[in-house]
Amino acid sequence: MKKLLDLISEEIKDAFEAAGYERELGKVTLSNRPDLCEYQCNGAMAAAKKYKKAPIMIANDVAAKLSGSKIYEKAEAVAPGFLNLTLKGDFVGNFIKGMRAEEKYGFEETKNPLEIIIDYGGANIAKPLHVGHLRTAIIGESIKRIARYAGHHVIGDVHLGDWGQPMGLVINELRQRKPELVYFDENYTGEYPTEPPFTIAELEEIYPYASKRSKEDEEYKADAMACTYKLQSGVRGYRALWQHIFNVSVTDLKKNYGNLDVEFDLWNGESTVHDLIPDMVDYMKKGGYAYISEGALVVDVKEDTDTKEVPPCMILKSDGAALYNTTDLATIMMRMEQNKPDRIIYLTDKRQELYFEQVFRCARKTKLVKEETRLQFLGCGTMNGADGKPFKTRDGGVMRLENLIKEVNAEMLEKIKQNRDVSNDEAVQTAQVVGLAALKYGDLSNQASKDYIFDIDRFTSFEGDTGPYILYTIVRIKSILKKYAEKGGDVEAVKNNINAPANESEKQLMLALAKYNSSIEAAYDETAPHKVCAYIYELANAFNHFYHETKILDEGDEQRKAGWIALLALTRDVLETAISLLGFSAPDRM
C-alpha cells in the first residue's frame, strides 16, 4: 500500500504539471502550522527562481487546478507562496479502511529478502550480565524483529566472550582452590564427570576475585595466562572444565535474557571459531595481506583519507596467541561460508567503534567478505545515572541486570497498587509485564547512539513518553472493546466498518494511524527502533485525545458507534504489533 504522503503528493504533482510546471515540485510534507492546515507543499517557493515568477502566482496556478480535488478539502495558496492543504474526511476514512484490509496494515514486505546476521548481546562467560549489556540486547532484539517483519531472513547471534583471558583466570583460580579436581590431573585418561564442580554463584564470585588479584599479583597473572594458553591449545582437562563453565554460564544467561524477552538463534562465541584460525592466518599470509611487524602478524588497514590514526589490525601476537579481532575475523569467514549474509549488523558499546572499523577494513581488504556485503556497526550510547555518569548501584558498584529488573518491577508494583485495587498476585504479574515495557521503552525511545539517563520514576510513569503510558492506552482500548461486547456488540463483525471521521479528533487519530507504513519502513531502513517509539507515542496521544472528546459507548447512532469500535480495534492491533517489534507486550488490565 502506498504511503499516505506519496499518495497525496501525486495529486499535487499532477496539478503542478497541469499548470505547466515541473511535476517533481509537488512534494507534500507535514504541516509546520497544524493550526492552519494538515499538510503543505513548498514547491512554488522552489519554482520561483526557475520560472522567474513570484511564488504566490505559481501557488495560485496550482491551487486553481486543485479545485475539483477528490482528496483535498482545502488547497489554499498563501503568501509568500505556500500551499496549505487539508484532506477530505472520506479520503482519510478510506485510507484507514485500506489499512485494515491489509495483513500488515499497509506496510509492505521487501521483494528482495536479505540474509542478515545480527551480532548483539555480547555477553561474557563466567560474568553476570550487568547494565552495560542492556542496550545492545534490547536494541538488537528490536532491530531483529523489525527486519524479520520487513520480510528479511534474520539470524541473531549472541557472540559470547568465551575464549579469552577471563577463562584462564577462572580455571587458574579453580586450580588453586581445588587442586585435587581430576581436570588438573594431566595423566588422567578417563571420562570427566558430567556434573560441574561449581555452581553459578561460585563462578560469579571467582571471576571478579581472580580478575582483581591478577592486577595486583604478577605471578598469579602469569599462571592464569598459562591456563588460557593450555585451554586454547587443547589440554583435555582444561577443555572439559571450560565446557562446564560454558554450560553453567549459558544456562544462567538464557534465563536472564529470557526475562528480558531477548532470544538468540545462535549461541556461538569466540570459541566457536578457534579451530578456523590457522586456515584463516594461512590465507591472509598467502594472499600477501598479513606481514610480521615486531614479531606480531598484522594487516595494514589505514587509508589515505583517514584524518585520525587507524592502527594495523593485529592477527596474532608475537607469542602466536589469537586476539579478540582474530576471533571476529574468523567469525566473519565462518558466517560467509555458512550463512552467506548480505549484511551483518554488530551492536556493542560505542567505545568499540574504532575496533570495528579496523575489523571491517581488514575483512574487506583480505576479501573475507564480498564487495557488496554490508558490514554495519551500531555503537550504543551509555545508560547513565541521575548524575550523568554511567549507571551504578547505590554503593558505586556495577549494577547487575537482574537487580535492575527487580528494581524496576518493584517500583512498577507500587504504582500499580496505587492506581487500582487489585489482588497481590495479579499486581505482581502485571508489574512484570509493565516493568519490562518501562525498561525497554525507556531505552528504545532514545536514539541508539545517544547516552541517556535512567530515571526510574519517569520510566515507570503512566504519563508521558513511557512504556507504561503506551500499555495503559492499549489497556484502555481493550476495556472499551470489552464493554461493547458485554453490551451485545460484536467487535469482530464490525471491525471493517471504518467510516469517514465524524469529528476533528477522530480525523487526527486516523492521520496518526496512517503513518504506520512509513514509520516502520524508516525504522528498518535507518536501523532505528526509536522511530517505532515516536510513532506509537504520537498514536497513543491522538487516541487519548479522541477518547476524551468522544462518548464512544453512549453514541446513539449505531453505525457511527460501530465505526468507532472498528477504529479502536485497528488502533489496538497496530499498537500491539508495534510493541511486539520493540520486544514487549501489553497485559489485558493494569
Selected from 55, 93, 156, 161, the binder of ligand ARG by CB under 6 A is: 161
Q: Which is nearer to ligand ARG, 124 or 517 (CB)?
A: 124
Compute the least distance from the CB of residue 408 to ligand ARG, in Å: 23
Nearer to ligand ARG, 159 or 175 (CB): 159
- Provide the pairing of β-strand 115-119 with 153-157: parallel
In the complex, the smallest distance separating the C-beta of residue 84 from ligand ARG, rounded to whole angstroms, is 50
Return the closest-CA partner of residue 408 out of 385, 437, 384. Answer: 437
Residue 163 touching ligand ARG (CB under 6 A): no
- The answer to whether residue 505 forms part of the interface with ligand ARG (CB under 6 A) is no
Per-residue interface string for the shown chain with ligand ARG, residues 174-213, x marking contact by CB under 6 A: ----------------------------------------
Neighbouring residues of 307: CB distance < 8 A, sequence distance ≥ 6: none
- Of 9, 228, 348, 358, the one binding ligand ARG (CB under 6 A) is 348
Instruction: Give the residue with the Cβ less far from ligand ARG, 161 or 379.
Output: 161
The set of cell numbers assigned to 220 is 598469579
φ/ψ of 376, rounded to 5, equals: -130, 130
- Between helix 558-582 and helix 530-549 the angle, nearest 10°, is 160
Among 121, 127, 51, 34, CA closest to 85: 34
The answer, yes or no, to whether the previous bond of 80 is cis (omega within 30 of 0) is: yes
Among 11, 38, 204, 328, binds ligand ARG (CB under 6 A): 328
The distance of closest approach from Cβ of residue 521 to ligand ARG in the complex, given in angstroms and rounded to an integer, is 28
Tell me which residues in 77-136 interact with ligand ARG (CB under 6 A): 119, 122, 124
Cross-strand bridge partners of residue 86: 74
Three-state DSSP class for 29? strand
With binding defined as CB under 6 A, does residue 173 bind ligand ARG?
no
Residue 144 or 159: which CB sits closer to ligand ARG?
159
CB of 331 to ligand ARG, least distance (A): 6
Tell the smallest beta-carbon distance from residue 157 to ligand ARG (Å). Answer: 8
CB of 348 to ligand ARG, least distance (A): 5
Shortest separation between residue 529's beta carbon and ligand ARG, angstroms:
19
Cβ proximity to ligand ARG: between 125 and 565 the closer is 125
CA atoms in the 13 A half-sphere facing the CB of 563: 21
CB of 173 or CB of 328, closer to ligand ARG: 328
Q: Is 362 exposed, middle or buried (0-12, 13-18, 19+ CB in 10 A)?
A: buried
Identity of the residue, 47 or 332, whose beta carbon is nearer to ligand ARG in the bound complex: 332
Q: How far is the CB of 35 from ligand ARG (least distance, A)?
A: 48
Question: Which residue has the closest beta carbon to ligand ARG?
Answer: 122
Q: Which is nearer to ligand ARG, 166 or 587 (CB)?
A: 166
Whichever of 118 and 481 has its CB closer to ligand ARG, that residue is: 118
Helical packing angle, 218-232 and 200-216, nearest 10°:
130
CB 40 within 8 A of CB 5: no
Closer by beta carbon to ligand ARG, 382 or else 499: 382
* Closest approach of ligand ARG to the CB of residue 333, in Å: 13
Q: Judged by CB under 6 A, which of 198, 346, 472, 535 binds ligand ARG?
A: 346
Number of Cβ within a 10 Å radius of residue 464: 10
| Cell representation of residue 300 | 595494514
95 sits in which H/E element: helix 89-101
Is the Cβ of residue 328 or residue 411 nearer to ligand ARG in the bound state? 328
Shortest Å distance, C-beta 177 to ligand ARG: 26
Least Å distance between CB 358 and ligand ARG? 12
Residue number with CB closer to ligand ARG (325 or 508)? 325
Residues contacting residue 400 through CB under 8 Å, at least 6 positions apart: 128, 129, 130, 131
> Is residue 162 involved in binding ligand ARG (CB under 6 A)?
no
Instruction: Establish if 159 lies at the interface with ligand ARG (CB under 6 A).
Output: yes
**Half-sphere exposure of 498 toward its Cβ, with a 13 Å CA cutoff?**
25
* Torsion angle of C-alpha atoms 322, 324, 326, 332, degrees rounded to 10: 150
Considering only CA atoms, which of 369, 361, 367 is closest in space to residue 332?
369
Task: Give the nearer residue to ligand ARG in terms of CB position, either 4 or 253.
Answer: 253
Closest approach of ligand ARG to the CB of residue 191, in Å:
31
Closest residue by Cα to residue 374 from 558, 141, 65, 116: 116
CA angle 460, 462, 543 (to 5 degrees): 140
Burial of 538 (0-12, 13-18, 19+ CB in 10 A): middle
Task: Report, in Å, the least distance between residue 300 CB and ligand ARG.
Answer: 21
Tell which residue, 455, 459, 440, 456, has the closest CA to residue 530.
440
The least distance separating ligand ARG from the CB of residue 124, rounded to whole angstroms, comes to 5
Give Cα separations from 115 to 110, 338, 345 (angstroms). 12, 11, 11
Q: Is 341 in the site for ligand ARG (CB under 6 A)?
A: no
Residue closer to ligand ARG by CB (options 26, 122) is 122
CB 455 within 8 A of CB 387: no
Residue 500 CA neighbour count, 13 Å, CB half: 6
**# chain residues binding ligand ARG, by CB under 6 A:** 8
| Residue 382 touches ligand ARG, criterion: CB under 6 A | no
* DSSP string over 422-433: --HHHHHHHHHH
Among 524, 526, 515, 442, residue whose Cα is nearest residue 146: 524
Q: Which three cell numbers stand for residue 586?
A: 501489553
The site for ligand ARG (CB under 6 A) is made up of 119, 122, 124, 159, 161, 328, 346, 348
